[in-house]
Structure 1
């Protein structure tokens, strides 16, 4: 009988979720655990998050999932340093989570004692052993490099931390017919307009969501993208055909604040 367990947050509390195909014998066994409950909303059995239950259901113990006190304080200082350098909130979150993973691995070792050899061991014994991607490994390396630039009296030689070799893969490119089929499959005018603009202008989803009508320059046939990736503005060309589509869309939806708004006027379109 295959089953898996994982930490979940249910009604504001952390619980251990037990996921499996319906099995009366396993259900009977779970019911013997104190505090076991069935959740109709998320469709899983869940039990209290205790040390005993973590051991029983093969979940890492709490102290194995957090850095040392020194590590926690250092991560917080690192966040403040990134913030002062005006890194975006998403980059701060990515780097701090990556650093947290590394410092959990070396939670028993003082940060000033961590060396380049420790980075290699971490890559081999954690990243590679768990089949984590090269892009994730690269995030870890970026976080470690930045972090140890802020640490004094460290044994880490930052410029000698190596990056993973990138795989050189050919991109999967859709044919013109496939692109047309995707765009024409939508009867919803707003959705079709959003996809057309993304494809024709090479926009990221985040860039599309924050577009405002004033960012469309119909005289010069360009789209102005404000605070794009890396907090940089950029300009992309706008084809006359897409411009005409935008005019038709505007007449129907009459957006107030954002070009593509949510269910309520002036509301940012949902990321989902």
Structure 2
């Protein structure tokens, strides 16, 4: 009799475990996901020079989303084009790296709802004769490998495009006169100019291609809805605005205030 009760209890326990595992697999709760990211895109993601820890706006956003959605994250850093390739191949389930939502990218990966509005801007030396994107034909212009800025230059200008794994290399080359300019995402350009530009650089022309950043997920991801619901709740309760102000020093636009 005792053996029968023991086996019944064991079978019931196994059934409960299998049911719990099935639920976890279905919606992602309790799982740990690897997040592919860059480590040189301030203030979105970067390594603290003192601690070596990964920090930034993107990092805190995805950590908060994971907490609300009931899963855990661990990070793996690489060049930006490696993030894209890893998501497209299914190697990584999540990617966050100031990634613009584009129709082309949506063919091979999924995106969350937007979480940041950006655009492209041209940075040049103070004494440059470049006044807008219309003046870059034949000029050496830097960008980041695999980025929308590289694609924009190649498709819309006659510039001699030099793309780098790390955009800061292009910025440094502009500052030192090795490049005529660089085209990249507005917040990162402004951050570099403020922190390391040494008053040698300026932006010119209009902000190009208004873009929205999204959290990237492998195609047909099981957690798209969970991520979106968590992000929407962050915006609604003001958590998003607090994280934004921490890294950008000002309140976000009205659409992000949850009002």
Larger relative strand fraction:
2
Q: Which has the larger radius of gyration?
A: 1
Task: Specify if TM > 0.5.
Answer: no
Q: Please classify the TM superposition score into its range, dividing by the shorter chain length.
A: under 0.3
TM-score by length of 1: 0.20
Larger relative helix fraction:
1
